[in-house]
Amino acid sequence: MSWTSLQVRALRLEAADVLGVELALPGNAALPFSWTPGAHVDLRLGNGVVRQYSVVSLPEHGHVYLGIKREPASRGGSQWLHEHLRLGARIEVGPPRNLFAVQPGDGPVTLVAAGIGITPLLPMYRACQRQGRPVRLLYFSRDAQALPLLQPLDAGIEWYSGLRAPQIAECLGQRLSTREAHASVYCCGPAGFMDCVQQTALAHGWPADALHREHFQPAVAAVPAAQGCTLVLQRTGCEVRVNAGESLMQAAARAGVALPVSCGMGICGACVSRVIEGDPEHRDECLSEAQRTSGEWIAPCVSGCRGARLVIDA
């Protein structure tokens, strides 16, 4: 992966536990990459870890803006950023990737966010508005005073605060009760919330292929395969035995081949590889259902093989 060293140009406390971070090149030089709404970037932090965060800004803003929630059970990413990031500091940023883009077309778009799940959906909302595409954004927050990243120009957003789970389900039922032609739903937030959005939409007749979501954490922790297989890395000409309880990536590393990796949880898509031969057993959250069904792709950091042999383009 190529990295770009960006400078911290602004820090804002968007909410009590949400830090807004503006990253740019010195002198307002043009960024060496672009992105589409819903994209995320890798940050390589000073403590050695790599973490992924959704990009809130649009390319025309000329900078990368992130909203980073300090997680109580931080694995070393959000906590480090909240405690150590300073104005003027440099941080390495990977090229944007987008596994959550708004699908092309002119059909109505409904965006449903909870908490920090607003980060990928807010740029989608603004981009749809600029394109003249029908769009609405439903934003659920625990606290009416804690609405990070919203500005006066976002006055049209429908926001709900302090609702309990049954009330959220009732509200979603009302807002998703009918579907216009070619309409789609995109949601992001805690896993239970996203499950509620999907179940509610399906119950009201929305087709599954019109529903999209993005995870910040795996919905279910990936369980390593109980039996092994043979992994063939075609481009490197390497063949290695994957032991029971070992990931494909771990086996490749043991054989001296470093596959690309970032989150290591099957979320970010950095490790996705093409399958040449074999039957993948998917345990990721980044591939679409169509990609999984095709059998042509695999996220080797968490996924495995149902058969005895798997050949990937690596």
pLDDT of residue 100: 93
3-state secondary structure 119-130: HHHHHHHHHHHH
- d(Cα 180, Cα 78) in Å, to the nearest integer? 39
The segments of the chain whose pLDDT lies below 70 read: 1, 73-75, 144-146, 151-155, 216-226
Cβ-based neighbours of 35, under 8 Å, separated by 6 or more: 41, 55, 59, 96, 98
Q: Is 27 left (phi over 0), alpha (psi -120 to 50) or beta?
A: left
pLDDT recorded at residue 270: 80
Q: Are residues 113 and 210 both part of a single domain? A: yes
Q: Do 207 and 237 sit in the same domain of this protein? A: no
> Looking at the structure, do residues 243 and 178 belong to the same domain, yes or no?
no
* pLDDT confidence of residue 311: 95
What per-residue confidence (pLDDT) applies to 143? 79
**Boundary-marking domain end, from 38, 58, 93:** 93
Number of domains into which the chain is organized: 3
At 267-313, the pLDDT tens digits run 888 889 999 999 999 988 888 777 888 999 999 998 999 999 999 99
* Domain membership of residue 161 as a residue range: 109-214
Query: Which residue, among 181, 54, 192, has the nearest Cα to 125 in the 3D structure?
Result: 54
Q: So what's the pLDDT on residue 266?
A: 83
Q: What is the pLDDT at residue 150?
A: 79
Instruction: Determine if the pTM surpasses 0.75.
Output: yes
Which pLDDT score is estimated for 118? Answer: 94
Any domain includes 221: no
Q: What is the pLDDT of residue 48?
A: 80
CATH number of the domain where residue 135 is located: 3.40.50.80
Cα angle at 167 between 128 and 114, to 5 degrees?
A: 40
Pairing of strands 40-44, 90-93: antiparallel
CB-based contact 139:147 (threshold 8 Å): yes
Buried b (16+ CB within 10 A) or exposed e, 270-308: bbbbebeebebbbbbbbbeeebbeeeebbbbbbbbbeee
Q: Cα(32)–Cα(300) distance, rounded to whole angstroms?
A: 29
Contact 249, 261 (CB under 8 A): yes
Has residue 33 been placed in a domain? yes
Asked if residue 113 belongs to a domain, the reply is yes
Name the phi and psi angles at 165, rounded to 5.
-55, -45
Write the CATH number for 245. 3.10.20.30
Confidence (pLDDT) at 37: 97
Share of the chain above pLDDT 90, in %: 68
Nearest to 252 by CA among 227, 268, 232: 232
The pLDDT of residue 260: 81
Model pLDDT, residue 225: 60
Task: Determine, yes or no, domain membership for 223.
Answer: no
